Amino acid sequence: MRMSIDVGGTFTDLMVDEPGRAATMFKSPTTYPDPIGGILGAIELAAQARGVGVEALLGETEILFHSTTRAINAVITGNAARTALLATEGHPDILLIREGGRTDPFNYRVPYPAPYIPRALTFEVPGRIWADGRVHKPLDEAAVLAIIAELKANKVEAVAVALIWSIVNPAHEERVAELLEEHLPGVPYTLSHRLNPTVREYRRTSSCAIDASLKPIMSDYLRTLKARLEGRGLKGQIFAVTSQGGLVDVADLAERPILALNSGPAMAPVAGRFFAEAEGARTAIVTDAGGTTYDVSLVREGALPWTRETWLGPIYQGNLTGFPSVDVKSVGAGGGSIARVDAAGLLHVGPESAGSTPGPVCYGRGGTRPTVTDAAVVLGYIDPAFFLGGQMSLGREAAREAIAREVAGPLGIGVEEAALSVLDLATESMVHAIEDITVKQGIDPEETAMIGGGGAAGINAVLIARRLRCDTVIFPDVGAALSAAGAMMSELTTEFARTAFMKTTAFDREKANAIIAELAAQAQGFFAKAGPHARDKRIDFSIEGRYPSQVWEIDVPLRGDGFAREADVAALIADFHARHTELFSFRDDGDAIEIMSWRALARCRLSDPTSIRLAQEGAVADSTRRPMYFRETGLTEAPAYRLEHMAEGEEIAGPAIVDSNFTTIVVNPGARAVRRPGGHLVVRSAA
């Protein structure tokens, strides 16, 4: 049996899966300050549902997956450890100056952002290494000891050590570590070259600082989690979800907690990829529509999207993690996004959100400003009597009044037209976010499938798909808990990289093959550590390359696992030119290609990739009809179906609604929907 736990800000989601049985989902409130109480609460619910005790359930659990927003929340709320930065002498402002850059050129009313570690806790270490690894000025150990004395006096709880060119010559960072071990025992530290051996000192320093600041809270938490679950009978392994969409052993995560920073959203594309492949789509846009944000990511040729630039907070104003992660873009557009008309008569939707308190007007909790959810209620898409499976009833009249007052009136149009406009504008923000991740990579959304995840996805997913000319929208039945499901489906992965410059005009096949062999050996070592459950082992090789004096590389996969013949080199060169043209519309055939690094992505599974699906309630023809409003039809009576009651293969035509306990899916006029054997709903948008 496998168990997946996703500790969110509000709820702890638990999914239990056992071969041969339907998966089950449970939600329990997240507890503060000790989230383990909430985890045990969810496990108790699962145990009750099976009629067994917690010990029995945990005793049967072979693998437990765990993801949490604990790390990211600590960073956002400023509750990470009191951390000091040891930087190279002359460069105390790496975290303050960042890499420059600014958005909104005419808005000087935004404060300049504080550095992740204040200057007051930043210390300059005398000693300098240059680009070729040469020691330009030796490390001043007496000065380091004096700094350590100050760290003690300042009661720092963690130390980040990030020196210039430590990636070329780590001697100074290593020596500082020895001195810290000796003179500041028990205080965790992070060395930049060990954590994130990448060039560009800001990125490396920033990741080092964030990682160190998480060590005290995450290491303790993970240790306690393991001890308490084992105390209640768990014998299996615990794997933690990473921001890279993979899994690591919890012990490894305690050493590098930054790996888990963005772990929640990273799982959505993992689950999305699974459902896309079930429909035969290799490239998919995965969307996760929540209350305040809309997260989008792109699965391309079955691969998860990666980025080396992950900002915590707004771009250029927040802090760059300096670490690769699954590339998930968020825009401030969700069910709670507020609609307003400005003085010049321009409609805006979001990024301001009503959140869960007071929430949309229709919740009746004091909200007065209309939201996207209110628009969907006004248009008859969401059944006010059956929201969240009937747990909550909504006020349609209040929503209508708010849309009339705040949108329809100022625009001089009807209420329904106003509500449609709100959805249109929210749709456009979402389309923009999707275009940002697709077109930038040279992907035409027309050639992809879209995955509609998150509770608010169904309201306008068809409209989004039509704008993108994307024909297929897939709504997984576990869509409302896409992350927890994703963890169950994800692979154990680690990437191994070797930085070694090679120009294609002087390609050394022997050296290249030696690098590949070294990476392959590292990958095999990783497979051996993964334990007896590891299967489906795979290594994908790629290079990062560029034309001479470009500074941003592009990834090009190798067709095989080495360069046995000259033809293999020619193939790589051809693939590079083709990829560059695909991304940027031109190629430079006459020029050489500079390979900067070589990569091997090792992946394996911990169990068979079985389908995760919820129990079915059996086909029942129980559709009802209710009034709803579409631009094409005006006010019309249209059928509403229950997803759990639809038969496999049953096809319906829009206009229609498909309701489930978790979400509402709008099938617009002209679109068609069918329930598939996997339990998910596929909508043809007729783009």
CA neighbours closer than 13 Å in the CB half-sphere of residue 379: 30
Question: CB of 624: closest distance to another protein in angstroms?
Answer: 32
- The stretch near another protein (CB under 8 A) out of 306-314, 482-490, 551-559, 620-628 is 551-559
3-class state of residue 214 by DSSP: helix
CB 173 within 8 A of CB 163: yes
Q: Which of 11, 306, 311, 547 forms a contact with another protein (CB under 8 A)? A: 547
Find the part of the chain contacting another protein (CB under 8 A) among 50-58, 92-100, 282-290, 654-662.
92-100
What interhelical angle do 566-584 and 509-529 show, nearest 10?
A: 80
* Nearest in space to 339 (alpha carbons), one of 353, 325, 324, 358: 353
Tell me how crowded residue 614 is: count the other CB atoms within 10 A of its CB: 21
Report the residue from 36, 45, 52, 96 that binds another protein according to the rule CB under 8 A: 96
At closest approach, how far in Å is the CB of 397 from another protein? Answer: 24
Q: Which of 193, 154, 209 is nearest to 319 (CA)?
A: 209
Helices (H), 107-249: 141-153, 171-183, 192-195, 201-231
Q: How far is the CB of 630 from another protein (least distance, A)?
A: 16
Nearer to another protein, 280 or 412 (CB): 412
Q: Which lies closer to another protein via its Cβ, residue 101 or residue 280?
A: 101
21 forms part of the interface with another protein (CB under 8 A): no
* Residue 106 interacting with another protein (CB under 8 A): yes
Within 8 A by CB and 6+ apart from 382, the residues are 373, 376, 394, 459, 664
> What is the distance of C-alpha 668 from the center of its chain?
29
**In b/e form, how buried is each residue of 296-326, taking b as 16+ CB within 10 angstroms?**
bbbbbeebbbebbebebeeeeebbbbbbbbb
Restricting to residues 588-647, name those near another protein by CB under 8 A.
Answer: 588, 591
Binding of another protein by 111 (CB under 8 A): yes
Report, in Å, the least distance between residue 87 CB and another protein.
Answer: 10
Within 8 A by CB and 6+ apart from 639, the residues are 623, 624, 625, 652, 656, 657
- 102 lies in the binding site for another protein (CB under 8 A): yes
Question: Residues 553 to 582: which contact another protein by CB under 8 A?
Answer: 554, 580
Choices 170-178, 330-338, 343-351, 447-455; region in contact with another protein by CB under 8 A:
343-351
Q: Which of residues 401-460 bind another protein (CB under 8 A)?
A: 410-413, 417, 421, 424-425, 428-429, 432, 435-436, 439-440
Min. distance of Cβ 586 from another protein in angstroms? Answer: 4
Tell me how far, at minimum, the Cβ of 307 lies from another protein, in Å.
Answer: 13
Residue 119 sits in the site that holds another protein (CB under 8 A): yes
Q: Is 142 in the site for another protein (CB under 8 A)?
A: no
What's the angle, vertex CA 300, arms to CA 299 and CA 302, rounded to 5? 80
x/- binding map, residues 659-678, to another protein, per CB under 8 A?
--------------------
Q: Kindly calculate the radius of gyration of the chain based on its CA atoms and give it in whole angstroms.
A: 27
Q: How far apart are CA 451 and CA 346, in angstroms?
A: 31
Tell me the site size for another protein, rule CB under 8 A. Answer: 72
CB atoms within 10 A of CB 31: 15
Q: How far is CA 351 from the centre of its chain?
A: 19
Q: What are phi and psi of 453, to 5 degrees?
A: -110, 165
User: Residue 129: which of 88, 177, 186, 86 has the closest Cα?
Assistant: 88
Interaction pattern, residues 151-180, with another protein; x per rule: CB under 8 A: -------------xx---------------
Q: What are the backbone dihedrals phi and psi of residue 231, each rounded to the nearest 5 degrees, phi first?
A: -65, -25
Question: In this structure, which amino acid lies at residue 548?
Answer: P
- The minimum distance between CB 110 and another protein, in angstroms, equals 7
Q: Provide, rounded to whole angstroms, the least separation between the CB of residue 132 and another protein.
A: 8
Shortest distance in whole angstroms from residue 576 CB to another protein: 13
Largest distance between two CA atoms of the chain: 82
Q: Which two tokens stand for residue 533?
A: 């459950």
**By CB under 8 A, what part of segment 195-224 binds another protein?**
199-202
Among 93, 178, 617, 637, binds another protein (CB under 8 A): 93
Asked if 11 touches another protein (CB under 8 A), the answer is no
CB of 588 to another protein, least distance (A): 6
Question: With binding defined as CB under 8 A, does residue 90 bind another protein?
Answer: yes
Task: Scan residues 282-341 and list those touching another protein (CB under 8 A).
Answer: 341
Please state the separation of Cα 122 from the chain's center in Å.
31
Judged by CB under 8 A, the residue of 56, 76, 97, 227 near another protein is: 97
**Residue 409 near residue 268, CB atoms below 8 Å:** no
* Phi and psi torsions of 303, nearest 5°: -100, 145
Report the nearest approach of another protein to the CB of residue 346 (Å).
4
Q: Residue 377 CB, nearest distance to another protein (Å)?
A: 20
Choosing from 103, 154, 505, 624, the residue that interacts with another protein (CB under 8 A) is: 103
* Pairwise CA distance, residues 294 & 331, whole Å: 5
Q: Is 91 in the site for another protein (CB under 8 A)?
A: yes
Among 76, 146, 315, 346, binds another protein (CB under 8 A): 346
Tell me the closest approach of the beta carbon of residue 320 to another protein, in angstroms. 12
